[in-house]
């Protein structure tokens, strides 16, 4: 074993990675629970705008990097496009939360990385191997199990979540392209700023009076979302995706449990089964991505020459 691989293994902290990912899941389920609790008292576009506006306070540590970033017109255009696309996805997500169950929202949100896989092959030229095709097909099957078209009525909330996943996937594909031009803090910070700007006209069109209590709940949403992204970053830094990705399946368990206990939502076995199929496909795709990257890294690494005996 060479010194590089030995060092990489010694820096891996699987228990810490798992715990950080557990915290991530709890934070994200907290986001959905608070939005579900608020209901449709505040229009979806306005709720989304206030969530991002209040969340700008968490960008203060990123300001130096954003101010010093050298962005050309192309970079700014892509950031602006991402902000608009993500804003549309956020509006649809807030709308879906008032129409369908926590379990359905959580399960269908797992379609995002599946769409990203397809989009990377279609628009970024990445190779779509047979195993990925099978995993994507399984995820689509999971979505059909949840929706059951022809067996039950597909509500506007379900359609909104399908749109949410598509818009978010497009947003992440743009982010993937931008990571080569800007630091992660700049990419994250610009997303928050551009989404806030993008949501403003939609919020203005449906603006309704809000109470201090509602603003407090939306600030809590912003805190949970920011904390979730931060702990997810810590999880990825502590352990490989193969360790942390399976933990994301707990989000569906918590969403089903919370929906039943706190909001009286019936446990739909089709939603649980379909969600499990989608989660399994996402985990498989993540593990395959990690295996491919490891193989590419080994192929690119210089050969280790045997040491001469003394």
| CA distances for 62 relative to 72, 76, 78, 268, angstroms | 19, 17, 19, 42
pTM: predicted TM-score of the whole model, two decimal places:
0.84
Residue 307 within a domain: no
Nearest to 251 by CA among 23, 93, 99, 15: 23
| CA distances for 40 relative to 35, 55, 99, 166, angstroms | 9, 20, 9, 23
Range of the domain at 217: 3-300
Residue 309 within a domain: no
Q: Which two tokens stand for residue 162?
A: 């399908």
Residue 67 within a domain: yes
Q: Which two tokens stand for residue 47?
A: 């709720």
Tell me the pLDDT band of 85, cut-offs 50, 70 and 90. Answer: very high
Instruction: Say whether pLDDT at 233 is over 90.
Output: no
Q: What is the mean pLDDT of the segment spanning 238-248? A: 78
Residue 305 within a domain: no
Q: What is the pLDDT of residues 251-289, one digit of tens each?
A: 899 999 999 999 999 999 999 999 999 999 988 888 877
Number of domains in the chain: 1
Residue 121 within a domain: yes
Buried b / exposed e over 94-118, threshold 16 CB at 10 Å, is bbbbbbbbbbbbbbbbbbbbbbbbb
pLDDT of residue 287: 82
Residue 27 within a domain: yes
- Radius of gyration over alpha carbons of the chain, in Å? 21
Residue 94 within a domain: yes
Residue 70 within a domain: yes
């Amino acid at each position: 074993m060479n010194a590089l691989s030995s060092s990489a293994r010694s820096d891996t902290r699987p228990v810490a990675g798992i715990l950080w990912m557990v915290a991530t899941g709890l934070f994200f389920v907290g986001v959905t629970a608070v939005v579900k609790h608020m209901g449709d008292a505040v229009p979806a576009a306005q709720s989304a705008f206030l969530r991002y506006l209040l969340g700008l306070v968490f960008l203060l540590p990123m300001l130096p990097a954003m101010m010093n970033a050298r962005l050309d017109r192309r970079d700014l255009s892509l950031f602006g496009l991402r902000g608009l696309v993500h804003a549309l996805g956020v509006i649809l997500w807030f709308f879906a939360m008032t129409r369908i169950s926590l379990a359905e929202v959580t399960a269908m949100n797992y379609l995002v990385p599946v769409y990203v896989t397809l989009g990377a092959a279609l628009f970024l030229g990445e190779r779509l191997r047979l195993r990925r095709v099978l995993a994507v097909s399984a995820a689509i099957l999971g979505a059909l199990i949840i929706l059951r078209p022809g067996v039950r009525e597909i509500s506007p909330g379900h359609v909104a979540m399908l749109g949410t996943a598509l818009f978010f996937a497009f947003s992440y594909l743009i982010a993937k392209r931008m990571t080569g031009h800007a630091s992660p803090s700049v990419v994250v910070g610009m997303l928050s700023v551009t989404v806030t700007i993008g949501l403003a006209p939609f919020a203005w069109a449906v603006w309704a009076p809000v109470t201090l209590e509602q603003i407090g709940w939306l600030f809590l949403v912003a805190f949970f979302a920011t904390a979730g992204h931060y702990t997810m970053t810590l999880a990825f830094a502590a352990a490989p995706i193969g360790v942390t990705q399976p933990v994301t399946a707990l989000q569906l368990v918590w969403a089903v449990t919370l929906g039943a206990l706190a909001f009286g939502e019936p446990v739909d076995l089709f939603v649980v089964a379909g969600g499990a199929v989608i989660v399994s496909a996402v985990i498989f795709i993540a593990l395959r991505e990690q295996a491919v990257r490891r193989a590419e890294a080994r192929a690119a690494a210089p050969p280790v020459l045997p040491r001469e005996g003394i």
